[in-house]
Amino acid sequence: MNKKIQQRVLCILAAAALAFTYLAIGFAVCAGFPQITRNLSSDNSAFDASPYAHDQLLDLALETREFTVDGYARDVDGGSAADERYAVALIRQAAASAADPEKADRWTDEARAILAEEDALQMKPWDAMLALYELDPSYALDADAITHLNEVNDVVSAARMPILGCTMIAAFCLMTLVMMFGPVAAGRALLFGGAATLVLFTVLGIWGLLGFDALFAWMHSLFFTDGTWVFPANSLLIQMYPLGFWMGMGAWWLATSCVVAVASIVIGAVIIRKKAAVKEAPRQSAGLQA
């Protein structure tokens, strides 16, 4: 393999790895910062339709984010303990909402009886949560919803090492390009990686504007079995995270990745131009002397 082909292969690898890394950075920001979830939930969650009081639904949205994205002590206690701990958090918010004067009429006598049994330690939180869901999907999550959230956590956890690997590949390829072919080759990789990211997000952005539901369904179909992520419109999960919430998450993801991609393009272009200016300078000097 000659030097020219080696340079092209390394440049393509670096650009692809960089684009994947920029994509991951956007997801890490929108999913990794609880404040983004808090702000989007505060603006979009169905507070009026929900039997939960404003603060309780907001806190539950944050608890659900932690259960879904973070470890939630699964590595210490196991998945079943994490499920039970989440059920405890949900029941606490349910009890607080049932006692709230503004939401008291949204909770039936049957629901209050379940909460009373749980409070008297006559029913486990997990069983109480499932019993509340059977009364009304807006009261709690069922086993299918918890399974889906655990599957999301599995996908997020499994993606960490490949993302780290791609970042390391990008760094290795850039360093190799600099050492073997000079900074201009690395600058091109930075430029192409950023450009590829912008093209990808332009396509996804147009798709999202034309039909966000279709884009949302397609992205879920990449990782989950059809139907496992579909829930009733009045379910608690949908009330916490309605369409507007996910559109906001998508906007954060797009904006973050695009900002990083533009920075990559600018850095790459600056490196290329500086090198071109250095090459051009002696020619200009020679012309002046003549």
pTM score > 0.95 for this model? no
Clarify whether residues 251 and 188 are in a common domain.
yes
Clarify whether residues 285 and 162 are in a common domain.
yes
Clarify whether residues 96 and 172 are in a common domain.
no
What's the confidence (pLDDT) of residue 213? 85
What's the confidence (pLDDT) of residue 248? 94
**Structural domain harbouring 81:** 49-144
Whether residue 223 is contained in a domain is answered as: yes
What's the confidence (pLDDT) of residue 288? 47
Of 144, 166, 194, the residue at which a domain comes to its end is: 144
What's the confidence (pLDDT) of residue 224? 85
Of 109, 144, 179, the residue at which a domain comes to its end is: 144
State the DSSP string of the chain.
--HHHHHHHHHHHHHHHHHHHHHHHHHHHHHH-HHHHHHHHHHHS-TTTSSS-HHHHHHHHHHHHHHHHS-TTHHHH-HHHHHHHHHHHHHHHHHHHHTSTTTGGGS-HHHHHHHHHHHTTSS-HHHHHHHHHHH-TTT---HHHHHHHHHHHHHHHHHHHHHHHHHHHHHHHHHHHHHHH-HHHHHHHHHHHHHHHHHHHHHHHHHHHH-HHHHHHHHHHTTS-TTTT---TTSHHHHHS-HHHHHHHHHHHHHHHHHHHHHHHHHHHHHHHHHHHHHHHHHHHHHHH-
Clarify whether residues 62 and 103 are in a common domain.
yes
Whether residue 10 is contained in a domain is answered as: yes
What's the confidence (pLDDT) of residue 290? 42
| Average confidence (pLDDT) per 10 residues, the chain, 290 residues | 86 95 94 95 96 97 96 87 95 95 94 90 91 96 95 92 93 94 94 95 88 86 83 94 94 94 96 72 50
Whether residue 153 is contained in a domain is answered as: no
Clarify whether residues 68 and 133 are in a common domain.
yes
Q: Domain tally for the chain?
A: 2
Of 84, 119, 144, the residue at which a domain comes to its end is: 144
What's the confidence (pLDDT) of residue 279? 60
Clarify whether residues 285 and 165 are in a common domain.
yes
